[in-house]
Every structure is written in C-alpha cells, then in structure tokens.
Amino acid sequence: MEAESKYTTIVFGETDISTLVSKIAESGGDLKYKSSIGFGNITDTVQIGGTNWEVSLDIRLNSTTLQDFLTTGSDLLTITYIAGPKDTPTKLLTYEYENAYPKVVSGGMEEAGYFKGTITFIIPYYDNEGVINRTVSVSGA
C-alpha cells in the first residue's frame, strides 16, 4: 500500500486559498534548552523558548486579492492534510497557526496582472501570554 499526504485546505482568516497555493514549506519551531550544573554536580536542563515557525506558500493571486491578503486583519492560518493509504485516506492532520501574518513577499507581477511568488508567514513560538502559537490535531477523514 502506498501512503499519500497532501494538503486539502489552506485557510487564512476565513478565506480558503487552497486553489491558489502550489507548494507549502514549514521550518523552525525548534525548542531551546539551557543546561547548568547545580548543587551536588546535578545537571539541570530548562526549556527557555522556541524558534519562530516560518510557513511559506508558493502562490498566485490577482493584484486585488494580493492587497487584501497582505492587509487582512486575520491572524489565523490553517492547513489541513489528508493522509493514509492512497485508495482510502483515513486521517486529517490539521495545523493551526495563531498570530500568523504575512511578513516576507518575494516574486513579482505577471503580465496578466497576477502576482506569482512566495509569501512567508513568520509565527512566534509563543504569544504574549506564553501560549504556543501552533496547534496540531488529528481526526478521521
């Protein structure tokens, strides 16, 4: 049996942008630790934070949609993947990123008035209250 995993939906705020995205990449989210030797020569390791997540979307938008996309008041990016055997996928894997704002845009305008390029969201590991900005959930397909 061949396993398959591909995104089924990508939603920014309340807008489904699935058909506009050709590729997704995620990096970051690594935890940082600090170790110190204390009384009795015992090593104490403490988590001191995590690195930002970066989610990049290769996307094609018309200029009006691009402007709306970059200035939207939303901060929620949701990506859902379907996974399992190719013939009968069994699971949905959903990543939700809070405090997700488009930060880096690379690419350019095409002749037909469309933007084609990459939009990168840089998402802090924690919000201002110390809550992790990414949640992952699994459900049946």
Can you give the CATH number for the domain in which 28 is found? Answer: 2.30.110
Number of domains, the chain = 1
Q: What pLDDT, in 10s, does the model give residues 81-136?
A: 877 666 666 788 889 999 888 887 888 888 888 889 998 988 998 888 888 889 88
CA distances from 32 to 2, 49, 84, 123 (A): 36, 5, 32, 16
Q: What is the pLDDT averaged over residues 38-54?
A: 77
Residue, of 109 and 34, whose pLDDT is higher: 109
Instruction: Tell me the C-alpha distance between 1 and 128, whole Å.
Output: 45
Return the percentage of the chain with pLDDT > 70, whole number: 87
pLDDT of residue 118: 92
Domain residue limits at 73: 3-34+42-140
The residue to which tokens 């069994």 are assigned: 90
Lowest mean pLDDT among 12-16, 27-31, 84-88, 118-122: 84-88
Q: Is 92 exposed, middle or buried (0-12, 13-18, 19+ CB in 10 A)?
A: middle
Q: What is the pLDDT averaged over residues 35-60?
A: 80
The residue to which tokens 């995104």 are assigned: 7
pLDDT of residue 73: 58
Q: What is the pLDDT averaged over residues 43-69?
A: 81
CA distances from 30 to 26, 76, 125 (A): 12, 20, 9
What residue type is assigned to position 18 of the chain? Answer: S
Question: What is the model's pTM?
Answer: 0.73
